Amino acid sequence: MAEKNVRGMRVAIVVTDDFEQVELTEPKKALQEAGATTTIIAPKSGRVQGMNHDEKADTFLVDLTLGQADPREFDAVVLPGGALNADALRVDEKAQEFVRTMDRQGKPLAVICHGPWLLVSAGLVKGRKLTSYHTIRDDICNAGATWEDREVIRDRNWVSSRQPKDLPAFNREMIALFAELRTQAEEQRVGVG
């Protein structure tokens, strides 16, 4: 089964305060159950605040700061949403460079809800096809991407979803994409060597 090919993958989850908690916890759980290792990365050390829509939820320990995290040490990245989280991350130069480096290396990227704001500000969405929370549709289209109102969209090394109710489809497609790209990378390494 392809999903087994995520075993041992190192997945960065990039957030800051006021992220939508379920958009971190559910993908993290799905990845860990499939055998991947997840690392919470944030602009600052300590803990980050999760949200349940507009209510404070739990806090989570930051494993690495963006200043400490090296994208070359990760196989994939997950970008949870939450409007305040995404709005703060989109102007963080280290967050922008982290996702640019991951994308340049062709590594898989999973993004949900308001998370694409970081990709817009990092200059990555032009010519791409994705979905998001409906309120940032114009931002995505104005940056040159094609936006569709679907629960999940896969485009090359990206998978995107709209909101928490799409998490079952998002998690399924995220794991499938991560496994497929890992298999392709391994086949290329073997074919070259």
Query: What residues are labeled active site?
Result: 113-114
Distance (Å, whole) CA 66 – CA 56: 23
How far, in Å, CA of 82 to CA of 55, rounded?
Answer: 11
- 74, 12 in Cβ contact below 8 A? yes
What angle do the packed helices 167-192 and 22-33 form, to 10 degrees? 50
Instruction: Determine whether 185 is exposed, middle or buried from the number of CB atoms within 10 Å of its CB (0-12, 13-18, 19+).
Output: middle
d(CA 53, CA 192): 48
Nearest to 78 by CA among 13, 158, 168, 154: 13
